[in-house]
């Protein structure tokens, strides 16, 4: 849900603005419902993951995402427009990052970083496919058909695949080669245990800053480039390059995180996009826009992947779902407000320069702060056991 909403809104903005007369801020407020409401949904999903199978949550989530976008396609008012996004977000949380990340973390250990990267690279694939597909669909059949096209992805592709093939391990704390006895069940997770761990707040600050930046940039990327004189087709290509960089960046970060200290890898990928933001402030040419897209895309591919990996390394296995859900809830709020904030700045100033400058500052905070995390908790436990 988060990926489809964020990567798809750009091609819709100008056509909806022209037909319905809604401002860009009002249109992108849909992402507040598409991301902000998921803050509630993901916490609920984190609780439900301790009580029901991941597979059923994923099926329900995909169905909800598709139905939500069908509702959006029928909207004749902003209220119904927002209701559709909210439906997709709330119900769609069941097929969000927390489910796929938990399933991968339960099945992989030594190659967990790469496994997460491969699994979550689908977000980059959607970013490559959706912008040019939607630009063509909207130009040919209108924006309402564009939303029907979006609904087809979860309903006609993902839902059957999950039903037929998704069979995850449910218990992350289950010992290899055996069944956990009731005496070995992990203790209930208390929120205070998570909130008193300073690493939770370090990861939160980092991902919040980076996610606010990228989710503010991506929906406004095509409008910003076209406002600067780049054609819609070329702008869609640039956003496709951004999405391709997401996949490459995600795979590189996953591969390197299995071999080196992940916080340093994160800082290496999450800090340079500040340069891309400064380039976008200068009404870039098409080649410069491509370079900026590569820098920003690499960070976009790394942030949620790193959040899952770092959560699995710094927190005990039975705490993963709840910790991840709290992290993602705060991040979802950032994702819901960032596009609206960028558009509000545009409505007030007539360009995106202030938004890109703010994003640059947040990249400069979000990348380096990961270096405060210290050694993995499991490394400390191993040292303690050896002693």
Kindly compute the dihedral angle of the four CA atoms of residues 310, 312, 314, 317, in this order, to the nearest 10 degrees. Answer: 170
Residue 143 has pLDDT above 90, yes or no: yes
What digits encode the pLDDT tens for the residues 286-304? 899 999 999 998 888 777 7
Q: Confirm if 3 and 128 have CB atoms less than 8 A apart.
A: no
- DSSP label at residue 157: I
Q: Are 328 and 25 in contact (CB under 8 A)?
A: no
Give the residue with greater pLDDT, 250 vs 176. Answer: 250
Among the residue ranges 80-89, 257-266, 276-285, 344-353, the one predicted with the least confidence is 344-353
Q: Does the structure show a pLDDT above 90 at 370? A: yes
Cβ atoms of 139 and 205 within 8 Å: the answer is no
pLDDT in tens, 21-48: 888 778 877 877 777 677 778 778 877 8
Angle, CA 357 vertex, CA 355 and CA 363 arms, to 5°: 105
Q: Computed from CA positions of residues 35, 39, 41, 42, in that sequence, does the dihedral angle turn out positive or negative?
A: positive
Q: Cα separation of 303 and 338, whole Å?
A: 16
Q: pTM of this prediction?
A: 0.70
Cα–Cα distances in Å, from 112 out to 145, 311, 324?
39, 12, 16
pLDDT at position 2 is 60
Query: For residue 138, what pLDDT band results from cuts at 50, 70 and 90?
Result: very high
């Amino acid at each position: 849900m988060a990926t489809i909403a964020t990567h798809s809104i750009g091609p819709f903005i100008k056509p909806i603005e022209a037909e319905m007369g809604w401002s860009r801020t009002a249109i992108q407020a849909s992402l507040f419902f598409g991301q902000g409401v998921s803050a509630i949904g993901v916490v609920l999903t984190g609780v439900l993951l301790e009580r029901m199978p991941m597979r059923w949550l994923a099926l329900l989530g995909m169905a909800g995402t598709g139905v939500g976008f069908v509702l959006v396609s029928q909207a004749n008012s902003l209220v119904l427009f927002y209701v559709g996004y909210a439906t997709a977000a709330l119900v769609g949380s069941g097929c969000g990052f927390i489910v796929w990340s938990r399933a991968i973390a339960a099945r992989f250990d030594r190659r967990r970083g790469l496994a997460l990267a491969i699994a979550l690279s689908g977000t980059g694939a959607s970013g490559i496919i959706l912008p040019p597909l939607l630009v063509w669909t909207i130009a040919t059949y209108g924006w309402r058909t564009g939303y029907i096209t979006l609904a087809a992805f979860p309903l006609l592709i993902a839902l059957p695949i999950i039903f037929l093939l998704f069979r995850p391990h449910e218990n992350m704390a289950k010992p290899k080669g055996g069944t956990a006895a009731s005496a070995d069940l992990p203790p209930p997770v208390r929120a205070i245990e998570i909130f008193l761990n300073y690493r939770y707040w370090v990861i939160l600050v980092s991902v919040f800053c980076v996610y606010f930046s990228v989710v503010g940039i991506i929906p406004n990327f095509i409008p910003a480039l076209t406002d600067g004189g780049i054609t819609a087709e070329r702008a869609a290509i640039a956003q496709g390059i951004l999405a391709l960089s997401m996949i490459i960046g995600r795979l590189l970060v996953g591969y390197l995180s299995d071999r080196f200290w992940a916080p340093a890898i994160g800082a290496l990928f999450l800090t340079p996009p500040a340069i891309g933001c400064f380039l976008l402030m200068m009404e870039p040419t098409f080649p410069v826009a491509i370079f900026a897209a590569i820098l920003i895309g690499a960070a976009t591919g790394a942030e949620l992947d790193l959040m899952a990996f770092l959560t699995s390394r710094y927190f005990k296995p039975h705490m993963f779902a709840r910790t991840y859900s709290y992290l993602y809830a705060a991040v979802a709020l950032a994702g819901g407000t960032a596009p609206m904030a960028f558009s509000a700045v545009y409505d007030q100033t007539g360009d995106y320069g202030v938004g890109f400058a703010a994003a640059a500052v947040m990249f400069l905070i979000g990348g380096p702060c990961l270096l405060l995390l210290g050694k993995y908790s499991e490394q400390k436990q191993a040292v303690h056991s050896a002693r």
